[in-house]
Copies of this chain bind each other. A is one copy, B any other.
Amino acid sequence: MSAMTRIDYSDGETPLIGHLVRPTGTPRAAVAVFPTFMNITEGVANKARALADAGYTAFVADFYGPESPHDFDSANSAMMRLRADPHAMRTRLRATLTKLGELEPGVPQVAIGFCLGGLAVLELARDGADLELVASFHGLLQTPLPAAQPIKPRILVCHGDVDFLVPRSHVKAFWEEMDAVQANWHFHSYARVDHGFTNPLTPVGEPNPAYNASADRQSWAALMGLLDEVLA
């Protein structure tokens, strides 16, 4: 398994700390990995390592910089501050793609994300990012800045049907928003699966520790399959 390296980067004056893991050979693509609202955790780091094992460079983004949270409440507050200014948030997210482009110049880019990271990759798609694919896992679907231009990347959304943060009304609104700009989306919905289904390490006692081995396995396979297709 490849080692993960700390990478310092920044969004304007805000210092950020990313985590990079490279495959053994030439990377098939460079994947920006946007973590949950908790910022990087062992669960997300493991996904980045799995990408490297599959031949991809993976770069785990830092949402918050020096404000990086250490528990549920501070993470929630940090997320609220980040989301309060949607344009500033997009600038923050683009900084990760820029840094990844410096680290892997000329390599096609992809972005995946979990929870807040799922929201992040959809925001990048709406923002016109030059990505081959974005994949959201139990991500939030709503946006204060609906897509108003063609979206380049293919879109994969892997969604727990009973996600307590994403009711079916959000799903329907997302489809309508994406259809209005002719986006090319695949939407996978899993019955009786809640928010956070990809993380086997969710601490007991936190809200909705909803790991679902089948949804985790099948959604990851869907990502691998679409990556093969968009990079063929």
| Residues of A bordering B, CB below 8 Å | 155, 161, 168, 172, 175, 178-179, 182-192, 214-215, 217-218, 221-222, 225-226, 229
Contact B178 A191 (CB under 8 A): yes
Copies of this protein in the complex: 2
Choose from B178, B186, B218 the contact partner of A186 (Cβ within 8 Å): B218
Q: Enumerate the 9 nearest inter-chain pairs by beta-carbon distance, A residue then B residue, closest first.
A: A185-B191, A221-B225, A187-B189, A188-B188, A186-B190, A218-B225, A184-B191, A214-B229, A183-B191
- In the complex, chain B residues whose CB is within 8 Å of the CB of A161: 175, 187
Are B188 and A186 touching (Cβ within 8 A)? yes
Which residue in B186, B217, B222 is a CB contact (below 8 Å) of A191?
B186
Chain B residue with the shortest CB-CB distance to A225: B221
In the complex, which of the residues B182, B183, B185, B225 contacts A217, with contact meaning CB atoms closer than 8 Å? B225
A168 to B175, CA, bound (A): 11
Contact A218-B222, Cβ < 8 Å, known A175-B161, A189-B186, A190-B186? yes
A191 to chain B, nearest CB (A): 4
B222→A229 contact, CB < 8 A: no
Complex CA gap A185/B184 in Å reads 23
- Extra 17 A-B pairs, beta carbons < 8 Å, given A186-B188, A221-B222: A161-B175, A168-B175, A175-B189, A178-B191, A182-B192, A184-B191, A184-B192, A185-B190, A186-B190, A186-B215, A187-B188, A188-B188, A214-B229, A217-B225, A217-B229, A218-B222, A221-B225
Chain B nearest CB, measured from A22 CB (Å): 26
* Cα distance, A218 to B161, chains bound together (Å): 20
Asked if residues B214 and A218 are in contact (CB atoms below 8 Å), the reply is no
